[in-house]
């Protein structure tokens, strides 16, 4: 009798192990980008890049976020400084690669980062696209998130030619596009100058005295949630099947 019970328990355990082994590994989404997407340690709180909040919208059993974004990088310097190498090592068929640059590419005073918007910038972006396509992954270009820059109540478009360059490249090369610049500009206009400060690094309570107190480029925690929501919502338009793996509302209300 004891032998039969032991055998039954062994069979049950084996079945559970087989079922667990049969579960597919989560798909992976990689992020190549700049400081508006990158991760920060607790000492920089409440500063966050939108890439830090992306996983909170995705079922971890279905998707795993690999955030390789780095502060201060342009499409060019991200590659030349070796930050693409980690993605190159791991990227494989079925993965998704989100590529968001433009903030630092416009810094004409820095030749290590500057990219002329009509030719050099799209040429560097194509390096990411080519890598993804070579590996059987899906590249998605992401226009840069808007700066919170108002002049007499009017929101200014600070990324102009770079945003349009990404749009033109996506159309020309038939690359999926998340127009985060348009989505975030519409959001900022709707909020207005003063209310929108709550979502950027206008933080008198910052822990470090060296932390910028009136930063209109970088997001704080609340802003990172909203912008990550925009990314997921637009991604669902590209791939409707993603909806089944989304675990938070994507109405993206700025509450």
Q: Which residues of the chain have pLDDT under 50?
A: 3, 5-11, 16-17, 19, 212, 255
- Helices (H) and strands (E) counted in the chain, each on its own, are 9, 9
| The predicted structure's pLDDT at residue 203 | 84
pLDDT score for 213: 73
Q: From CA 165, how far away is CA 37, in angstroms rounded?
A: 20
| pLDDT of 8 | 47
**What whole-number distance in Å separates Cα of residue 219 and Cα of residue 12?**
50
pLDDT of residue 158: 97
- Domain spans of the chain? 25-245
Distance between CA atoms of 209 and 193, rounded to whole angstroms?
25
Q: Are 115 and 80 in contact (CB under 8 A)?
A: no
Architecture of domain 25-245: 3-Layer(aba) Sandwich (3.40)
pLDDT attached to residue 2: 53
d(CA 192, CA 190): 6
Please report which helix (H) or strand (E) contains residue 226, including its range. helix 221-238
d(C-alpha 16, C-alpha 25), whole Å: 17
User: What pLDDT score does 206 carry?
Assistant: 55
- Confidence at residue 212, expressed as pLDDT on a 0 to 100 scale: 47
Nearest of 69, 58, 1 to residue 31 by alpha carbon: 69
pTM of the predicted protein model? 0.90
Note the pLDDT of residue 96: 98
pLDDT at 88: 98
Rounded distance between C-alpha atoms, residue 127 and residue 227, angstroms? 25
> pLDDT tens, 17-66?
454 556 789 999 999 999 999 999 999 999 999 999 999 999 999 999 99
pLDDT of residue 36: 98
Which residues have a catalytic role annotated? 35, 211, 218
């Amino acid at each position: 009798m004891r032998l039969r019970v032991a055998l039954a328990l062994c069979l049950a355990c084996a079945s559970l192990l087989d079922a667990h082994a049969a579960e597919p590994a989560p798909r992976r989404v990689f992020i190549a980008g700049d400081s508006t997407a990158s991760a920060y340690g607790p000492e920089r709180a409440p500063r966050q890049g939108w890439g830090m909040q992306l996983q909170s919208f995705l079922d971890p059993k279905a998707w795993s976020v690999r955030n390789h974004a780095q502060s201060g990088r342009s499409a060019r310097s991200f590659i030349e400084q070796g930050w693409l190498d980690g993605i190159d090592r791991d990227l494989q068929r079925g993965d998704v690669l989100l590529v968001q640059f433009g903030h630092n590419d416009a810094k004409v005073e820095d030749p290590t980062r500057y990219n002329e918007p009509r030719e050099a910038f799209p040429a560097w972006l194509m390096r990411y696209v080519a890598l993804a396509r070579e590996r059987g992954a899906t590249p998605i270009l992401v226009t840069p998130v808007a700066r919170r820059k108002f002049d007499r109540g009017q929101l200014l478009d600070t990324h102009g030619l770079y945003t349009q360059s990404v749009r033109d490249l996506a159309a020309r090369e038939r690359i999926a596009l998340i127009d985060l610049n348009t989505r975030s500009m519409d959001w900022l206009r709707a909020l207005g100058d003063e209310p929108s400060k709550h979502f950027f690094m206008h933080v008198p309570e910052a822990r470090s005295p060296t932390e910028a107190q009136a930063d209109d480029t970088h997001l704080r925690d609340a802003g990172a949630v909203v912008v990550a929501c925009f990314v997921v919502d637009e991604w669902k338009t590209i791939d409707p099947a993603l909806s089944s793996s989304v675990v938070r509302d994507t109405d993206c209300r700025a509450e």
